C-alpha cells in the first residue's frame, strides 16, 4: 500500500504501526534519505541541502531509490507500506510501471487540515537514531532520550518555519493532485487523521481490511 497525506499528519507513526500489524516492511523515502545524509553517501550529499530547505529531491533520483528498494526480496512475499513516495504525478506514473507485475492494493490519504499539521510540525521531535516520533506534548519518558533505543531526540533540521512552509506549499501543488489521480484509478481510501493515534490506527485498519477482503 501507499500512504499519502500532508507532512505532519502522523503518517510516519501510523506506518510503523501498520507495518507491525501486517508484518510488512515500512519503506520511508524520508528515512532512507536521512540515513544517506548521516552516512555521507553521494546521494546524501545531493539530498542534504534540498531537504534542509524543505524542497523535494528530483524525481529521477527518488524513482531510482524506490525501484531498487522494491526489488528487494522482503517486499515480494507479503507486500510493503510505502511512506513519502510518490510525491509527484511523475513519481506515481513511474511507480505504476515499477509495480506493473504486482500492482498496488490501496492508497490511503491520511486527511488532516493544513492549520493542524502546522501546529504539529512545530512541536514535532524525532529520535536521531531510530526515527521514533515524539512531540513537545508527548516527550520521551526521561529527558530527550529515546524510549526505544536511547538515541538523542531532536527537532528535525527541516522542521524550521521556512522549510515547513515550503514543504506544505509543495504538497498543495505537487502532491495533492495525486489524491484525484489515485481516486480515478479506483485505489484511494481517505481516512480521517484527527484524534488519538489509536483512533486513527483503528480507522486505517478498517479501511485497509475492507479493501483486502
Question: Which residue ranges make up the site for ligand AMP (CB under 6 A)?
Answer: 7, 29-30, 33, 50-51, 54-57, 62, 84-85, 87, 91, 158, 167
Residue 160 CB, nearest approach to ligand AMP (Å): 12
Residue 203 among the catalytic residues: no
Residue 102 annotated to the active site: no
Identify which of residues 36 and 200 has a Cβ nearer to ligand AMP in the complex.
36
Assess whether 185 carries a catalytic annotation.
no
The one catalytic residue in 6, 11, 17, 120 is: 11
The one catalytic residue among 87, 120, 125, 203: 87
Neighbours of 83 (CB within 10 A): 23
| 201: CB partners within 8 A, 6+ apart | 14, 17, 18, 21
The residue (of 197 and 206) whose beta carbon lies closer to ligand AMP is: 197
Nearer to ligand AMP, 142 or 161 (CB): 161
- Cα–Cα–Cα angle for 164, 80, 48, nearest 5°? 35
Handedness of CA 86, 134, 147, 153 (dihedral sign): positive
Q: How many CB atoms lie within 10 A of CB 168?
A: 18
Closest to ligand AMP by CB, 50 vs 98, is: 50
Q: How far is CA 42 from CA 56, 61, 145, in A?
A: 17, 11, 30
Residue 183 a catalytic site member:
no
CA distance 88 to 80: 20
Give me the least distance between CB of 164 and ligand AMP, in Å please: 10
> Mind telling me the catalytic residues?
11, 87, 124, 156, 167
Amino acid at each position: 500500500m501507499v500512504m499519502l497525506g500532508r507532512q505532519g499528519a502522523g503518517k510516519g507513526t501510523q506506518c510503523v504501526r501498520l507495518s507491525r500489524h501486517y508484518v510488512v516492511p515500512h519503506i520511508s523515502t524520508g528515512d532512507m534519505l536521512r540515513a544517506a545524509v548521516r552516512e555521507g553517501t553521494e546521494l546524501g550529499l545531493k539530498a542534504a541541502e534540498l531537504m534542509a530547505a524543505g524542497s523535494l529531491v528530483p524525481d529521477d533520483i527518488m524513482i531510482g531509490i524506490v525501484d531498487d528498494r522494491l526489488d528487494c526480496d522482503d517486499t515480494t512475499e507479503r507486500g510493503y507500506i510505502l511512506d513519502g513516495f510518490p510525491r509527484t504525478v511523475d513519481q506515481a506514473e513511474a511507480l505504476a510501471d515499477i509495480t506493473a507485475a504486482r500492482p498496488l492494493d490501496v492508497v490511503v490519504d491520511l486527511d488532516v487540515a493544513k492549520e493542524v499539521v502546522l501546529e504539529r510540525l512545530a512541536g514535532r521531535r524525532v529520535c536521531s537514531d531510530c526515527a521514533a516520533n515524539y512531540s513537545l506534548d508527548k516527550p520521551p519518558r526521561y529527558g530527550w532520550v529515546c524510549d526505544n533505543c536511547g538515541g538523542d531526540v531532536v527537532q528535525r533540521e527541516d522542521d524550521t518555519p521556512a522549510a515547513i512552509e515550503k514543504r506544505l506549499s509543495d504538497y498543495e501543488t505537487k502532491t495533492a493532485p495525486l489524491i484525484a489521480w489515485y481516486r480515478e484509478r479506483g485505489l484511494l481510501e481517505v481516512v480521517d487523521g484527527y484524534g488519538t493515534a489509536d483512533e486513527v490506527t483503528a480507522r486505517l485498519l478498517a479501511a485497509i481490511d475492507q479493501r483486502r477482503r
